[in-house]
Amino acid sequence: MELFTNQVLAGIATGAIYACMALAVVMIYQAIDHLNFAQGEMAMFATFISWQLMQWGVPYWGAFVITLAFAFVGGVAIERILFKPLAKAPVLTNVAGFIALFAIINSSAGLIWDFTIKQYPTPFGSSPFLGSQLISTHQAGMIGVTVLLLIALYFFFQYTRIGLAMRAAASVPESARLVGINTSWMIALGWGMASAIGAIAGMLIAPVVFLEPNMMGGVLIYGFAAAVLGGLTSPFGAVVGGFLMGIFENLAGTYIPGVGNELKLPIALALIISVLVVKPAGLFGRHIVKRV
Amino acid sequence: MSAAEEVVAEGHQAVEAVPKRAMTLGTGTSLVVLAALLIVPLLVKNFIIFQMTMLLIYGLAVLALNILTGGSGQFSLGQSAFYAVGAYTSAVLMEHANLNYALTIPISAVVCFGFGYLFGKPALRLSGVYLALATFALATAMPQLLKLNFLEHWTGGVQGLVVTKPDAPFGLPMSQDTWLYYFTLLVTVAIYIFAVNLLRSRSGRAFMAIRDNEIAASAMGVDVARYKTLAFGVSAAVTGIAGSLGAIAVQFVAPDSYTITLAISLFLGMVVGGVGWLPGSFVGAAFIIFVPNMAESISKGLSGAVFGVLLFLVIYLVPHGARQIAILGQQLVGKLRKN
């Protein structure tokens, strides 16, 4: 039983990483209706920017704020320059665009900062949290930030004018345009916010997985899976999905014999697919009814 | 944003509707292309012949994805898994059972059909992003499954298997590469004709009805479940054949040759060639074989970025892929004839 509790705790700790990423994935899905495959790379690039700022002597929180601003502007710019012209292109062409963006960012980061692994500082320290061996203060801080972010987003979407406008633009663009919402800029805003949330995720994850151009590869896959598990239409679901994903993965690694590090991911994915077969819209997603 | 909200969405189409007639080339053009494919190998070096063989093989794999996505509207990131199963079936049969290479191809088609059909069953309940994730899981699992210990005796584990390249039969005076090219061309032409006819048949019309509107299709009496799994089976079988040919051409199979990267390449090939346009599969295959090499020769350190920029250029200029160019060409020829 103790082993079980410990594994669940460890799962929650890694789950916080996935939850953060899943939140960013869902944000952009809300705004543009696509899964952005380059999301992880955008987050990685932003994390490198913050690292570079710290190398130049900017203190952690200063670098944090500058990086968020940079990520937001960068996200908006990518939408305006690269993806707005593709708005009318088929969905699959857009997906190809994400893959192209992935290649561009990954390769540029590799050229600028090279592929060696770099240490990344944490603002929370890494001593054991409340005497527990499994969760460090950094991981506890990560969970705290994720939860805070979720609450902030909830208030933003439910109680501000612009949040309401974004929701309207995402769910019924035509009607939103009729009541005077600039839907095109709402999409850009969605990109910016998703990019900033991704940057937060990147900066929280970097102390755990270390900083390098390929650091987000694995995390993004789990983030996607978590978002899909929780339901792509629900930010709350995404966070729950992230934590569940972390727990799944740890328990599968502990209790199923012969599961090494490499089979963890397929097994976690298989579990998610079984969930989806029973609940096709994810755990908390709303069911979309199609008009014939 | 509450979970109880219900939204009536417009019939959101993931894959565009492509009319049946627009899916292929005219007879005249097809014959010209075929003639070129027959003659060119006689004039070029062995290495180029090898690359042309690979182009046909990847073309087949992209064609298989096109049948699935362009035909029945289902999306798959798991094609690399079917490709791997095909490749391993051939390699194991050739190396452990000493079977003739040509005989292994129909066997791997059958094996892959079964595999794809079975995978299509649970995938029936999923669509769009969810199906993409499920197929993605399959693609990430496959290399790990091939490395499993108890299969090692057959698959060679991480090391993989070496496959012997066949000689030209009947003492034909041609190199192994040339023979393999013509053999691949024969298989490719056969499958291409099969695919064209499949999409023109009753089953093909059922695929397209499902792609354009699943609810309307089932109201017309199309057995949606049956045709969706059938599309998965056929696509897997064709991919498996491509995998077999690929194993024979490369003379080597190893788990890490069939990762998700391969599936993503095949997907890009389909988009660049034009979703739902069968001849475009081969244009897309050329893109995924030659453009990465080109990018590498432009800049070694930034090859990924160069590739990304080139890909962006292609999708800006022709968002509907090579099909768009073909349609433009057709209109131009039509205008010239009128004058």
- Cα–Cα distances in Å, from A65 out to A50, A53, A72? 9, 11, 11
- A243 has a pLDDT exceeding 70: yes
DSSP 3-state assignment of A61?
Answer: helix
pTM > 0.90: no
Identify the residue with better confidence: A187 or A127: A187
Closest approach of B234 to chain A, Cα-based (Å): 22
Residues B248 and B187: their CA atoms lie apart, in Å, by 13
Q: Give the pLDDT of residue B10.
A: 36
Q: What CA–CA distance (Å, rounded) separates B71 from B194?
A: 14
Contact A23, A239 (CB under 8 A): yes
Q: Which of B130, B270, B275 sits opposite A276 (nearest CB)?
A: B130
Q: How many whole angstroms separate alpha carbon A284 and alpha carbon A241?
A: 9
Give me B217's structure tokens.
């299709």
Both tokens of A71, joined, read 């990520």
State the pLDDT at residue A95. 85
- ipTM over 0.95? The verdict is no
Taking residues B319-325, report their average pLDDT: 82
pLDDT on residue A14: 81
Distance in Å, alpha carbon of B2 to nearest chain A alpha carbon = 8
Interchain contact, B140 vs A265, CB within 8 Å? yes
List the single residue in B10, B304, B320 with the smallest CB-CB distance to A106: B304
Averaged pLDDT, A231-247: 86
Number of neighbours of residue B25 by Cβ within 10 angstroms: 18
Tokens matching residue B140? 């990430």
Cβ atoms of residues A251 and A6 within 8 Å: no
Contact present, B199 and B19 (Cβ < 8 Å): no
pLDDT > 80? residue A203: yes
Q: How far apart are CA B207 and CA B18, in angstroms?
A: 12
Crossing angle (nearest 10°) for helices B46-66 and B224-250: 170
**Å between A161 CA and nearest CA of chain B:** 14
Q: How confident is the model at residue A144 (pLDDT cuts 50, 70, 90)?
A: confident
**Token pair 């292309």 is at which residue?**
B33
Length of chain A: 292
Cβ proximity of A203 and A141 under 8 Å = no
Measured between beta carbons, the chain A residues lying within 8 angstroms of B321 are 93
DSSP state of B251: T
The residue among A39, A92, A289 with the most chain B CBs within 10 A of its CB, best to mutate, is A92
Q: How confident is the model at residue A183 (pLDDT cuts 50, 70, 90)?
A: confident
As given in the structure block, the two tokens for residue B238 are 């064709």
pLDDT greater than 70 at residue B175:
yes
**Contact A284/B140, CB-based, under 8 Å?**
no
Give the pLDDT confidence score for residue A39 in this predicted structure.
85
Alpha-carbon distance B133 to A276, whole Å? 10
Containing A271, the helix (H) or strand (E) segment is: helix A261-278
Residue A225 has pLDDT above 70, yes or no: yes
Q: Directed axis angle between helix A235-255 and helix A216-230, to 10°?
A: 110
Give B126 or A289, the one with higher predicted confidence: B126
CB pairs under 8 A between A and B: 165
Residue B253: predicted pLDDT: 87
pLDDT higher than threshold 90 for residue B242: yes
Contact B79, B207 (CB under 8 A): no
Q: What residue type is assigned to position B57 of the chain?
A: I
Residue, of A289 and A161, whose pLDDT is higher: A161
pLDDT the model gives residue B321: 80
Q: Average pLDDT, whole number, for chain B?
A: 83
Q: For residue B266, which amino acid is it?
A: L
Taking the C-alpha atoms of residue A113 and residue A116, their distance in angstroms, rounded to an integer, is 8
At residue B176, does pLDDT exceed 70?
A: yes
Mean pLDDT of A195-211: 87
User: Averaged over A90-106, what is the pLDDT?
Assistant: 87
pLDDT 10s digits, B197-237? 898 888 888 988 888 888 888 888 888 888 989 999 999 99
pLDDT confidence of residue B11: 38
Average pLDDT over every residue of B234-253 = 91
pLDDT band at B191 (very low <50, low <70, confident <90, very high): very high
A118 strand-pairing partners? A211
Q: Which two tokens stand for residue B146?
A: 């091939």
pLDDT tens for B73-109 read 888 888 999 999 999 998 888 888 878 888 899 999 9
The answer to whether residues A56 and A70 touch, using CB atoms and an 8 Å cutoff, is: no
